[in-house]
């Protein structure tokens, strides 16, 4: 069996595959040459992240292909139903990067609440000449402990966000499109663990009461946070979107920042990715990152290993 990891794979994943007698091609092949490369090298398995697109034409052009694997949760860059109709096995890693994304949510929350996003821009420029003025301008900071965390989406990432919120002493309000109740287990360093039951509430209750709101949903065909939802939020709330570009109406979000309705907002995903609007990039109320939610070494190792184990399991069935 031959595997092409076109968007890369961790060394730990490569080692697992090699130990199982599977050949790994860790190449980066451009879209216009990908089908030829797959056919010429008799590739059985194509592994991708978010960069490589697996569309109908590629599937038709590569009849030897047996498995398509996505390192991550969403499979927006793969024509899933068409691939299944063509007899391909599809695999992904829905939980491998959840902790990494959840930690990024709170990295943005802390950055916004303590003005780190802005002070990191201004200190190199004005720290030597206007130190006292900067200190004064950043004095209205907020703690997260004791505040209310609103989580929109109770999937795997949303539950990891809730875990961190509970650990920080935050009150939890969660919304899910399909009402649900889930148990959160938090494990401690000394072997102890505690369980918390989280039951979803309606969206308006989350928006009206949450001080910090995290968007953790799958792809949608409409804004989950638009002008109406922003108007319902508490004055001075913080909003973070690490889910999908298009989940938040970015124009309405900027208006809410300008009016003071939002105290701060953060985006790891954008409506016009990979060329976000300049107004977003330059706004002092924004904490920004370039779609790196799952990009930690820890997550990459888990992704590579999970993909490898699934491929090895399928190997004997093909």
CATH number, domain with residue 77: 3.40.50.720
* 140 and 274 together in one domain: yes
* 183 and 205 together in one domain: yes
273 an active-site residue?
A: yes
pLDDT at 129: 97
* 138 and 229 together in one domain: yes
Among residues 247, 248, 96, which one has the least CA distance to residue 160?
Answer: 96
258 an active-site residue?
A: no
E strand segments, 118-236: 148-152, 171-175, 181-187, 193-199, 212-215
Q: Exposure of 20 by Cβ count < 10 A (0-12 exposed, 13-18 middle, 19+ buried)?
A: middle
pLDDT at 30: 95
Strand partners, 3: 24, 45
* 58 and 132 together in one domain: no
Catalytic residue among 114, 177, 283, 291: 291
* 126 and 268 together in one domain: yes
* 252 and 104 together in one domain: yes
Catalytic residue among 271, 273, 277, 283: 273
Q: Domain residues for 168?
A: 98-288
* 32 and 118 together in one domain: no
291 an active-site residue?
A: yes
Catalytic residue among 108, 117, 244, 302: 244
Strand partners, 286: 265
The pTM score is 0.90
pLDDT in tens, the chain (318 residues): 999 999 999 999 999 999 999 999 988 999 999 999 999 999 999 999 888 999 999 999 999 999 999 998 888 899 999 999 999 999 999 999 999 999 999 999 999 999 999 999 999 999 999 999 999 999 999 999 999 999 999 999 999 999 999 999 999 999 999 999 999 999 999 999 999 999 999 999 999 999 999 999 988 889 999 999 999 999 999 999 999 999 999 999 999 999 999 999 999 999 999 999 999 999 999 999 999 999 999 999 999 999 999 999 999 887
* 234 and 161 together in one domain: yes
Spatial contact of 52 and 79, defined as CB atoms under 8 Å apart = no
* 56 and 135 together in one domain: no
* 81 and 212 together in one domain: no
SS3 38: helix
**Domain count within the chain:** 2
* 19 and 161 together in one domain: no
* 124 and 143 together in one domain: yes
């Amino acid at each position: 069996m031959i595997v092409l990891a076109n968007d890369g794979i961790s060394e730990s994943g490569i080692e697992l595959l090699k130990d199982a007698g599977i050949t790994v091609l860790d190449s980066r092949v451009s879209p216009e040459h990908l089908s030829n490369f797959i056919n010429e090298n008799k590739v059985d398995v194509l592994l991708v992240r978010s960069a490589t697109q697996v569309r109908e034409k590629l599937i038709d052009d590569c009849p030897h292909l047996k498995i398509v694997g996505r390192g991550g949760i969403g499979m927006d860059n793969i024509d899933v139903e068409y691939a299944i109709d063509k007899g391909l096995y599809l695999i992904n890693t829905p939980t491998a990067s959840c902790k990494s994304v959840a930690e990024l949510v709170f990295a943005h929350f802390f950055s916004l609440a303590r003005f780190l996003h802005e002070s990191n821009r201004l200190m190199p420029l004005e720290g030597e000449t206007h130190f006292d003025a900067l200190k004064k301008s950043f004095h209205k900071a907020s703690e997260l402990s004791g505040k209310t965390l609103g989580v929109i989406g109770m999937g795997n990432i949303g539950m990891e966000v809730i875990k961190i919120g509970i650990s920080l002493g935050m009150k939890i309000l969660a919304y899910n499109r399909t009402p649900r109740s889930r148990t959160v287990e938090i494990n401690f360093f000394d072997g102890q663990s505690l369980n918390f039951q989280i039951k979803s509430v309606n969206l308006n209750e989350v928006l009206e009461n949450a001080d910090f709101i995290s968007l953790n949903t799958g792809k949608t065909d409409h804004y989950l946070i638009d002008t109406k939802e922003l108007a319902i939020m508490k004055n001075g709330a913080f909003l973070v979107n690490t889910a999908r570009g298009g989940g938040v109406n970015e124009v309405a979000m900027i208006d809410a920042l300008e009016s003071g309705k939002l105290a701060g907002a953060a985006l790891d995903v954008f409506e016009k990715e990979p060329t976000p609007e300049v107004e977003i990039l330059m706004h002092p109320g924004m904490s920004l990152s370039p779609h790196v939610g799952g990009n930690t070494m820890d997550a990459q190792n888990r992704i590579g290993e999970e993909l490898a184990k699934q491929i090895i399991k399928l190997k004997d069935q093909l």
